[in-house]
Chains A and B, each alone.
Chain A
Amino acid sequence: MIQLVNIHKTFGKVKALQGVNLHVRPGSIHGIIGENGAGKSTLMKILTGFIARTSGSILLDGREVALKTPEAARKLGIGMLYQEPLDFPKLSVLDNFMAAAADTNPQRQAEIITRLSNKFGFTLNPSSRQGKLTVGERQQVELMRLIRDQCRILILDEPTTGISGEQQKLLFGTLRRLRDEGKAIILVSHKLAEIHSLCDRVTILRHGKPAGEQEKPFNEEQLLQAMFAALPTRSSRPPRRTPGKPILTMEEVSTTAGRVGLDRINTTIHEGEIVGLAGLDGSGQSIFLQMAYGLLSPEQGRVSLPDADVEDVMRVFLPADRLGKGLIAGLTVREHQLLAGATPFFIHSGCGRDETKKAINTFSIIGTPDTMAEGLSGGNQQRLLLSLIPPQARLILLEHPTRGLDLQSGRWTWHYLRSHLPDNGAIIFASPELDDIMEQADRVLVFYNGAIILDRPTDQTGYREVSRAITGRV
């Protein structure tokens, strides 16, 4: 039905997709799996007309289509269920259902809702407020809307994240039914269980390139290997430090912040430990780090720093969104140094210049003291953030520490972090790169749906166990 041939997409210098092919047949569910940043969401945005492809062709029923706007995709019968519900929380279910519909007769549309709800076993009240519904129910509304609009191609992006088991069962039933009615369904997921129970065929993406394709029944070993690349050698792994006293403890910590929240987290981080947080993006790692830093407070449970000597300034957090949340766009490199360091009241133009130059050299930042933060490349922004870590830091929290860095700078970053971490300090980092975690961490915590489902010293586990845990299998 729909065929993608040799799709390329570049953002500036970044190659997001390189030569992706996809062929989805009517009456089938086609899975697309891959790690974070494998290019799944870029591919879906191209399919729905949100962004334009750089090159390659898309054929619908054998005819080439342009797909320049979402409107065009909609007219061709392509509909998507977004991971974050793209709806109108303040409006009623009925209004959400009717928005931009061809027919907007409230009675008729309410009848359609009832009819479709009955068909698929949903229980939705057309007059309740969309924002009051659970994520799963919001999804159901969207799904019914796409069905009403006679979408022939349905794309679902991580549809089971954050929904209950009951809703998942309903969703799967609905999807199977739609497949049997002849629709083409594309399922983007990282959960192997889902792929197994739903898909007829699966395409694996890695770093923007196709990394394999399988027909049902799937070989799980091969899928994992295609997703996470070859197992690297573990030659340069530095010796593990002996854990000391507890530095951070979480007891029964729960929250509803973020996509999946946190679900009864119990853990203790010790001095000297380097802890890696694994899991798919948005499984709770980021909330965990923000909680550890004190940016968020738990709704239930307790976060504490047992060592009273750990002051506020000894906690450091380097967020993944470097320019949006870590650095201040509009300030120069030197001004960042001045904000982070011990600065005299009066700042003259020479103030902090030497220190900044030194930092630029030490951290090989490509830029001058007067370069604005937004003028630095992603990797250099990370180096700047690293250079701002005060020497007395004892609890260093990092989100995606080596993202955007080349191999060498990545190694250098870790070397720097390790050599500057005091004996009574600890590092907790979240990383989408399993290699990073297996190589650098002493201990790995795997997050799945807001809970820690695996907690092991890295030398007592392996890629297999961790990658299975990431996909929800323990």
Chain B
Amino acid sequence: MKSRSIQARAGAAILQSVPIILLATGTVCLLLFALDFSPIAIIRAMAAGSLTSWLKFSQLLSIWVPLLLCSCGLLFTFRAGLWNIGIEGQVVMGAIGATILLRMNPGFLPPPITIIAAMAAACIGGSLWGLLAGILKSRGGVNEIFGGLGLNFVAQGIILYLIFGPWKRAGIASMSGTDIFARNLWLPTPVGWRVAPAALITAIAVFILSRLFLNHTRFGLKVKAVGLNPEASRLFHIHADRYGLFAIMVGGALAGLAGGLQVTGVYHRLIPSISSGYGYLGLLVVMLANYKSLPVPLITLFFAWLAAGSIQLPIMLRIDSSLSGVIQGACVLSALLVHGLRTRRQG
């Protein structure tokens, strides 16, 4: 067996995903036919809503950015064998971390530096929240799924408290969020764009670096070893707990960064639903990618297209926008079903 090139591996992966795509498309189409909707019309509407102009496409990219960042973070935790369901909370804490700095707005610093510092604070916020889940697991024996889930609710509580308490808008506190930041603290977005170029570049860079780190460094290899077999890792002098905590902190930092970018680049304020469910969606993405990094940008792009395109559905076809979620869920379950059938056939 020769070492296979990326192209060959990608080819094999595409071939493997054919039954998954067929199954998912088939099921969704059947559902649509049963409801008397035309799949073609839906695809057309979704394309029209997201692909026909740069403005619309950049809207799609603005969803792609946080989704890609969350998925990258999850690649780390899955690699270490952890189910980081607490990622939603990490996004929220990242957003809060960024907001703290943006609200302080130290005048002596040039705005770009403040923004960068805010992003660093976002990473710290997210990674500390991740660390908390990790410590609950390694010290308290609370499974990371339930610890993370609980911390999601706690983060949600904190953000609501802040928005309705100390950070409430002048006049009246409401679900619409905090006051809008000073304009010079917004991530610069050119006219006709819906996504900040800096955010786009950050997301792409994070993906490349994550992939590089996970697949081409000693550290990444050790994280993988711990995830696959913590017991044997000990014989290679690797501390499983330490690498697990490290992975969940990196995962939290990237999720936090996603939250920070939403605050400064998209909403320009802190809102209660700042995570928009991108963390959970990221879990679906990485599951669909079969926990590998290479397909992640494509799958996130596809999911972002579904999310952006479906916004048009109620207006154009009177179809509920949650169709996108149905398709995403169907994809992941089809993948699991096909994997299951495959392993069963093999033995």
Contacts and interface: CB of A to CB of B under 8 A. Distances in A.
Contacts of A370: 1-4
Given A331-B225, A349-B3, A326 B235 contact: yes
A325 B231 contact: yes
A69 interface: no
Interface string B80-112: 000000000000000000000000000000000
A347 B221 CA distance: 9
8 nearest interchain CB pairs?
Answer: A330-B228, A328-B229, A339-B236, A343-B218, A328-B228, A347-B216, A328-B232, A328-B225
Interface in B238-263: 238
B234 interface: yes
Nearest to B225: A328
Contact of A339 (B217, B221, B231): B221
Contacts of B220: 347
Give the residue among A335, A339, A343, A368 with the most B Cβ atoms within 10 A: A339
A105 B204 CA distance: 67
Contact of A348 (B2, B216, B221, B232): B216
Given A329-B228, A370-B4, 4 more contacts: A324-B229, A325-B231, A338-B218, A343-B221
Interface residues of B, number: 23
Binding site of A, secondary structure by majority: helix, strand, loop or mixed? Answer: loop
A369 interface: yes
A335 B221 contact: yes
A295 interface: yes
Interface residues of A, number: 29
Contacts of B237: 312-313
A344 B221 CA distance: 12
B33 interface: no
A135 interface: no
30 contacts: A295-B234, A313-B237, A319-B235, A327-B229, A327-B232, A328-B228, A328-B229, A329-B228, A330-B228, A330-B229, A331-B221, A331-B224, A331-B225, A335-B224, A338-B218, A338-B221, A340-B236, A343-B221, A345-B217, A345-B218, A346-B216, A346-B217, A347-B216, A347-B217, A347-B218, A347-B221, A368-B1, A369-B3, A370-B2, A370-B3
Give the residue among B3, B232, B233, B237 with the most A Cβ atoms within 10 A: B232
Contacts of A331: 221, 224-225, 228
B267 interface: no
Given A328-B233, A370-B1, A345 B228 contact: no
Contacts of A346: 216-218
A117 interface: no
Nearest to B3: A370
Give the residue among B1, B4, B220 with the most A Cβ atoms within 10 A: B1
Contacts of B235: 316-317, 319, 325-326
Nearest to B236: A339
A416 B210 CA distance: 41
B153 interface: no
Interface string B199-232: 0000000000000000011111110110011011
A337 to B, nearest CB: 11
Interface string A37-65: 00000000000000000000000000000
